[in-house]
Structure 1
Amino acid sequence: MFFQTPIYLVGLLSAAIPLLIHLSRSRKTRTLRFSTTRFLTDQFLRSYRMSRLKELLLLAARMALCALLAMTFAEPFLQGSVATGDPTLSRSVVIVLDDSASMHYRDSDGGTLLSRAAREAVEIIKGLKPSDSASVVLAGRRADGPLAVYPEPTTDLVGIENELLGLAELSNSAEGRPEALGTDIPGGVLLAERMLADREESSHEVYVFSDLQQRGLAAPALAGETEGSFDSRVVFVPVQPTEPVSNLGITAVQYGASRPMAGIPFSIRPHIRNDGASPRSCTISLHVRADADADDADEEGYRKVAEQVVNDPLEPGRWSVFTLHHIFHSGGWQSGYVAVEDERLTADNRRYFCFEVLDAVNVIAVNGAPSSIRRNDELFFLQAALAAGGADTNPIKVTSVRANAFQGASLDDVRLVILANVETLPEAAVGKLERFVDRGGSLLVFLGDQAVPAFYNNQLADPSRSRGSLLPARLAGSGPKGNPSAGDDQPPVAGVGDFAEDHPALSGFGSGETGRLGAVGFSAYWALDPTPNSRVVMATGGGEPLLCEHLYGQGRVALLPRAGSDWSNFPVRRPFCRSFTGWLGILRNRPEARVPRFPETTRPRVLQRGTSSAPDRRFDRRSGGQSIAGLRVVKPDRTIGVFESMADPTLRRSPSVKPTSRGLPV
């Protein structure tokens, strides 16, 4: 007899509790003899013996009840023997082998669990007579169900043994990779039962070799089968590791932007989980497709481009997210994988990906406040942020036009239009913008001192237009809040409060990986009244919206604070370059590259407003963020699908750091 959870056998000690109670209540009495009571002695002895017997039986029943309760929790089971049937009877045997990913775990001797199971199955086949029949079923979860190596039991027992031994050798070799990740034990048993249903042998036997993972036992059964249809003798043979499990695996991969661009760093974040029994350190690496003449490519044609050594041990049952970076120097489809070094179970050591890297992106920037002094020009900091990577690696080509020349500019090969502190636009130019965004283009609007609220509210944010408001928010008030003419020695009137850390343009600021927003201050800003379908991405410490976005037709529109340094120290802070390139990364996608958004199933999170009474706005993943809908990836089975992030949108308040005076970073 074996036990699934033998630790509960400690409960057998509870059987001693009734015995201790019995002994504690037993009293030894002194005997006094009286001549006048001798005639009662015989009757007294008979009654005493009967009472004593009843007490002992009750004691035994109580002790047995405690022992049975402990054994019930320990889950006892009987392991089938190799040849328990009658040797005079003919036998038909089906070996059901679990060939899922978990069975490829390497034990302390270096062999896999599947290899051990196959060799134990060979012993069963050797116990059959030449006239008996046998077959093998592989019970991994496949699209067409479990795989029968032989469609029906055969008397070629030598061939069966060779198949099992070959499977054992392949599983132990470096080329031994699982064909099926999941387990379908119920389906394998039912398939074996079908194969034995019409056999003429006297004994029908099914032997199931598996590590008995809970998910495999809960797999859906084959259609049309019922409990009463079983006629075969089914024996489960558990195959377990001989020492505590040690395994690290990649459970998911996140991406820092919805689509990478050539020449801009792209972040890939693998989720590593420790499924072992002890803390583990690891080494994570990133591999991409190598050139045909590359000398450092592996056997699959990939080369290592990034590596991270994790020295802090990952606790058992816990997972963590790590970040790797890479710059793709050319556009087109790129493939690769993320790997973690772990020799025990290689099936979950890699996650493959495949996505399109965009080449040069054409952007038109409408300059609403040009200046002969370069630093005072409205586009100065935007162009400086784009040039941070160098002219040779910058994939974004910006064409600057004046507001009065925008109407005549061609938007045929343009994916993004930037309005930088534009005062007004003609009605024809507004219609041109609406058609551009509706077809899949993107619009980025920076507000400044030249903005006229009447134009923005009555033209760009008019809900009565054919497709509704082009902007995600209306301008509240007749002018900006704060003091636009304040100097560097004046304290700011607002700082960055809550922001959506799941948004690609702001990802990493909460952890400090790409900088912090706590030192960003504003001496002036426009008060915004977001539209019902917009998303507030960033707010002030008092809860007032600073940055909003929404979808318009097939495109996207974002409304941001001024890009110059007159109103804020944001353009001269480290996070500005990262956030601006992040915005460009999510706004310059081709219309044909978009896919339908999946409906939101989780409850959207509410942007906390602190003590402000500003209207409630919700952060919605449908309008952007690390959900990365539309990013095509290659799954472990090498099929291409749409990536859906496991991360839930979170709000992160920037650290409470007093904003400093504006100035260039040292």
Structure 2
Amino acid sequence: MSLLAPLYALGALAIALPILFHLIRRQVKKRTPISSTMFLPEMRPPLRNRSRVENLPLLLLRALALLLLAFAFSRPFLRSAASESSEGLSRRTIVLVDTSASMRRGDLWTQAIAELRSVTTGLNPGDSLAVIAFDARPDLRLDFETAKTLPIETLRAVGDSLFADQLPSWNGTDLGAALRAAAELAVENDGSPTSAMEDAADSESNAVVGSTQVVLISDLQSGAKRETLQGFAWPREVPVEVRRVTARGQSNAWISLPRIAATDPTTGAIEGDQGPEGSQSVFRIRVTNSEDSDKAQFRLTWLRADDSPVADPPREVQVPPGQSLAVRLPPPPADAVAIRLTGDDQDFDNVRYFANRSPSPQTVLYLGPKLPEPRDSPLHYLRQLTLDTATRRVTFAHHRTGLGSTADGDAETSDSPGASGAATLPVSAGPLGAVDPRSVPLIVASGDLDADTLGSLQAYVRAGGRLAYLPAPAINGDDSGERALRALFDDDSLSVTEAPVRDYAIWTRIDFAHPLFSPLAGPEYNDFSRIRFWAHRTITGLPDGSRVLVAFDDGSPALVERTDGQGRVWAFAAGWQPLESQLGLSTKFVPLMFGLLDADRPEDGVADRRVVGERLSTANLPAEPAEIQIDRVTLPTASLGRLADIERVDRPGVYRLGWDGAETSVAVNLDESESRTEPLETDELERLGIVIGGAAKRAAEEQSERQLRDVELESQQTLWRWFLIGVLGLLAAETFVGGWIARSRVTSSGLSPT
């Protein structure tokens, strides 16, 4: 039996009152002297009978009535056998264990395993457990169904067996994905609290099902990704207990390697023409110091593949806490593959790898006729550009089109050499033939194109190439532009006519969300109103799937994009040469051409810097993944086999890709977000809707639920009513017994009751 209001049971102490009253003898209040006893000595009765209880049945009735009345006010009730047993309360615990790269700091991993052990050792018979390890992706190591089949002793030691001889990975941290996986596991049909309660009600054991709890074991560094929690409805009945592990040293600094281009894509200016020590190029890095750091002095050193330092003297840098510093270094030595930072407390992220390899040659091909005045040709303005980057060297070539076109030699001479300084240009003519998009990433075509050339261009685009087409003016019956666009856009209803331009036209409604124009979306770059177009074509009847990126002020399309296979076709309604516009002479022309060449695709066959856990894209390599051998050249060196068999690269380093006697290299680095080791406050998780609650809160909630169940059980049983009926019965019996005793005394004294 249990009591809902146990303090009222203290009223049972009132049974002492009738006992006390029965022990006290009544004293004679009025004494009447008798003359015959005046000469007798005064004798007091002995006191040995003073503590004798008289009328014991009456005393018991009165005491029992008080006792029943106290218990009635305590609101007694009876629990079932399952609810009385603490072992019958089954709890479901989901443990999230952080195995990301930031857990490599100090003894964080040892602390995490100890926290997991403390969770599992506290399990009771009937409890269920699930364990999820997470870094960039969640990994369910133990599910509820498997845990049910394990003895309680094995379940309490399961943490050591799940992570035996394992260290944290080199992947980043996606905390949002891990928490979502835990929430989905907690509420799925085969393991939800509601389903579990229904199963328990139908089972013979009648076990009581408790709550579900998520225990998060992590360093909770601020760089952990949380975007997937945006808009996610966290189940309110599933609290999260955060068990944070903390590193001893807080200072952490790291190196960022931005993608280095030899040309600034927004201005066309060449970087580093006056680099350190008179060099013609620079190696730019950025050093960042954490906000909670207590150190500011760091050292930079070049490293070889065997992790030995290069003989060059190290570079000292000073970065205050919470700030970053852009550092311009001379080009790395030929045998250097990494740069290392020293001077902070944490060394797990101190090395950044780079692919120290020669730029690959690429060609931008121009298809068009040879004009008497070179400055009237779009090619002239293309040749003034430098489209080189740290990973490529771009040259230009001219393939002449039109009736009677010939090469007239192997090269074309210009009085105005290109930006590279070359005064000659490779020239070809005749049928275009097949073009490889890996060596020719961009083709610019203008004017009349024959059917064979159009067929070759269509095959080129579908294979991943990029084509920019400038139709000739649609005057004097020239419909070459219309015929070419109909073939390239695969729609015979497309029409191209010459637009009537009174003075000039300008570009409006520019799609700055497109990768072609996104570098120019800033307020300092997005003004195109000063670029005037003296003539342009009107393109109508565009097929479905075409995207208008720019329109003229009269509403007609100025730049249209169409995706075909793996490549793209852009149709310009006007040329950029001065005969038609000022575009080729404007500062916007440089980033626009960079966009045609680079927008929305890797820099080259395999981007020279990747993040651990990413797939290696080889779309532009001249070999299939099954033909490419991948080896790690940095420590620990290893031959990993064929690239097709490698799903993801699992550790930082420099990797060599080889095929048919050729090779290239790619650098794989730690996700930079892992270096942001400042602690993430739990308030941020609560702001995202996560219910935070530790063991104390869980115990309080369980106690509150137990109290509610007790109130409901007591209100159903209403035992207090029977106790009150018993009290009334005892009082009636006490009245009868008391009257009977009184009458007995009168009768024994020989007096009439009246």
TM-score range, shorter chain: 0.3 to 0.5
Which structure has more relative contact order (CA 8 Å, sep 6+)? It is 2
Give the TM-score of the pair, scaled to structure 2.
0.40
Q: Which has the larger radius of gyration?
A: 2
TM-score w.r.t. length of structure 1: 0.45
